[in-house]
Homo-oligomer: A and B are copies of this chain.
Amino acid sequence: MSVAESGEFGLIARITARLGAQPSTILGPGDDAAIVAVPDGRVVASTDVLVEGRHFRRDWSSALDVGHRAAAANLADIAAMGAVPNALLVAFCGPPDLDVRWAEELTDGLAAEAERAGAAVVGGDISASPVLTVAVTALGDLRGREPVLRSGARAGDTVALAGRIGYAAAGYTVLSRGFRTPKALVEAYRRPAVPYSAGPAAAELGATSMIDVSDGLLADAGHVASASRVVLDIDRDAFAIPEQMRDAAAALGVDPYSWILTGGDDHALLATFPPGVEPPELFQIIGSVSEGSGVTVDGKPYGDGPLGWEHFR
């Protein structure tokens, strides 16, 4: 059955039947708006949009994968503020002939990824459109802590990273060359494994800055450097290249460090910590902060190419 045959209200009923709730969900879908508990009195909110052909391809990713990725991209932004995600709202646009199962599986992916982060899908909107588009807004609670901004890194801080890096970019390269393996890389492109708990844990330990790595490690380190008016120097040897990534890089004639340093979409969390502070579990030290401006790798500027991804290229 197509979404057009299902009808707007039929599709909404099918979608909402698949959603769960969290203790923070005061009112879920079905009224004019949802209501979510944010006991802190400050709500953290972020929006990201995924467009077919630009952010995903239906022949590369299942609806379930797209749901996981759309949710993860937003939930990671909440975690990167040091906040705890609690809700998602989803605007979904699709062609009238789309199979309702695609919309249902997208919903399952969104709901499952939200649950991983402790959140629930609490509302949304659907519309017909020639282009499959998924716009997600994530909400979260600071639990009494101050937010961790991009602007707080100071000379002398250490730079640390939580989560996989380079995997999604490697998987993208593999798929774009027409291959479907190594599976670990392709799966990483399809579904990020965001270390949600590392965000609040970093905030708790006094992280001075934090960012969700979505544009690429050096590009996002650059956003922190620029907002904090410092240099972030990345130590290339901090990254051991996993065997599957090394093999794929050799087979495809790619420098694996280009995946690690400039690939986006893994949604790792990059944070800086004051001198003497041991970063929390899941974080690994990958560099240091010093006076100046910009990003360096082993003390030198990196390559001549772009540092990451621009969405209007």
Task: List A residues at the B interface (Cβ < 8 Å).
Answer: 3-4, 6-9, 11, 26-27, 30-51, 54-55, 77-78, 80-81, 83, 87, 89-93, 96, 122-131, 133, 135, 137-140, 142, 147, 149-151, 210-212, 227, 310-313
Contact = CB atoms under 8 A, between A and B. Distances in A.
21 contacts: A4-B313, A27-B149, A30-B150, A32-B210, A32-B212, A33-B45, A33-B80, A35-B43, A41-B41, A43-B139, A45-B139, A46-B89, A46-B123, A48-B91, A48-B125, A54-B128, A55-B127, A96-B312, A126-B311, A126-B312, A131-B131
Interface centre among A26, A33, A128 (most CB of B within 10 A): A33
Nearest to A76: B32
Contacts of A310: 7-9
Given A7-B312, A33-B78, A38 B42 contact: yes
Given A33-B81, A129-B133, 14 more contacts: A7-B312, A8-B312, A31-B150, A32-B78, A35-B44, A37-B41, A39-B41, A45-B89, A45-B123, A47-B124, A48-B125, A93-B133, A128-B311, A137-B137
Number of copies of this chain in the oligomer?
A: 2
A90 to B, nearest CB: 7
A41 B34 CA distance: 14
Contacts of A50: 127
Contacts of A122: 45
B43 A89 contact: no
Contact of A3 (B83, B87, B312): B312
